[in-house]
Amino acid sequence: MFKYTLRRILYSVLILFFVMFLVYLLMSNMPSGYIEQKARELASRPGAGKSYSEWLEDLNAQYGMDKGVIRGYFVWLSNAITGKWGDSWAWTKPVTQEFHETVWFSFILGLVSFIFEIIIAIPLGITAAKKQYSFTDYFTSVISMVCISMPTFFIATILKYVFSVKLGWFDLSGMQGRNYMNLSRTGQILDVAKHFILPCITIIIISIGGLMRYTRTNMLEVLNADYIRTARAKGVPEKKVINYHAFRNTLIPLVTTLGGSLPGLFAGALITETLFSIRGIGYASYSSMTQADIPFTMFYLTFISILTLLGNLISDLLYAVVDPRVRLS
């Protein structure tokens, strides 16, 4: 197991190297990037002294973008390995500081939604499978299909319309109420929590559909297995058949997929955060990308790549943990 993990990590490093190179290639070839814009701005200032192309050359040298793609990539890589991620162009502060300020909001948003998603979707999926083709089954299937099909911005807009505009329970967007500064410490936390409710609901609604269907399908497959019939023939009470014998087997695919998505909790929810103006990592990365902020985007994409690779590794390792038939070597 240890050897396997080590080998997988080495592979992951290799994959990461090439992924980041591709990202760097794309970023440095973006038409009208941050530097071009800056150069245009400076050149059009009264008394600029230098023309656009002169400014561009200057700025490229200043920002270290004049080394060509390959050399530039290795310079970036050697800096990144030593922990020097540079300063964000758009936020004008160190990349890691901006990351640290935003990621925890995303994490809390992700974690809360993740927990609720599991609590809601898995029992519903099991109930639907237990009573296949019943009203409950059709009802949950329709609900999950609706949840899967609706785009995030649509759900968010409906929620905003109902709960913010019509009922006035929550603010339309943002993370703090208007008198945030006058509140006590706990009051401030509660205020932020209240602003997180609608984004959380949005994420939960989009994600439960898939998990519910996944649970149902796997549960149905297990319930039709011979060993479930054996368990019943042994006289095991029906409840225990479902919750112990069948669920333990359904858990195998569930744990591996959910375990694999654990690192994703840090990735942020780009669309939801943007729609609700939550200053999370998704929102930050989105604004960085629109402003062609290469250092921050590179950092964020590296981070996402690592999370994805880590997620795959975790799900493979979990397979061996929950399924005795799987041995890693």
Partner 1 sequence: MAEEKKKSSYISGRESLKITRFNRKVTKKLEEERANAIKDPKLYTTKMKDENNVVEFDNVCTYFFTDVGTVKSVDGVNFSIPKHATVGVVGESGCGKSVTSLSLMQLLARPSGQVVGGQIRLNQGDGTALDIAKTPNSVLEKIRGAKISMIFQEPMTALNPVFKIGQQVDEVLQIHNPEMSPEDVKAHTLHMLELVGIANKEGVYEMYPHELSGGMRQRICIAIALACSPSLIIADEPTTALDVTIQAQILELLQSLKDKMNASIMLITHDLGVVAGMADYVVVMYSGRIVEKGTADDIFHHPAHPYTIGLMKSKPVVGKKVDKLYNIPGSVPNPVDMPNYCYFRDRCEMQCDKCKGQYPPEFKISDTHVVSCYRYFEEGEQLGYPQSVDVSKLI
Binding site for partner 1 (CB under 8 A): 225-227, 229-238, 245, 248-249, 252, 322-325
For residue 20, the tally of other CB atoms under 10 A from its CB is 19
**Residue 301 Cβ vs partner 1, minimum distance, rounded to whole Å:** 39
Shortest reach from residue 14's CB to partner 1, in Å: 33
Rank residues 45 and 229 by Cβ distance to partner 1 and give the closer one: 229
Contacts with 177 (C-beta within 8 Å, 6 or more apart), sequence order: 171, 183, 191, 194, 195
Nearer to partner 1, 36 or 323 (CB): 323
Minimal distance, residue 318 CB to partner 1, in Å = 14
DSSP characters over 293-325: -HHHHHHHHHHHHHHHHHHHHHHHHHHHHH-TT
Q: Which is nearer to partner 1, 7 or 232 (CB)?
A: 232
CB neighbours of residue 193 within 10 Å: 12
What distance in Å separates the CA atoms of residue 191 and residue 179, rounded to the nearest whole number?
10
CB of 132 to partner 1, least distance (A): 10
Tell me whether residue 100 or residue 248 sits nearer to partner 1 (CB atom): 248
Minimum CB distance to partner 1, residue 255 (Å): 12
**Residue 166 or 327: which CB sits closer to partner 1?**
327
Q: Least distance in Å: CB of 239 to partner 1?
A: 10
Maximum pairwise Cα distance, the chain: 91
Nearer to partner 1, 87 or 221 (CB): 221
Q: Which of 275, 265, 274, 224 is closest to 246 using CA atoms?
A: 224
CA distance 236 to 233: 7
Residue 87, strand partner residues: 94
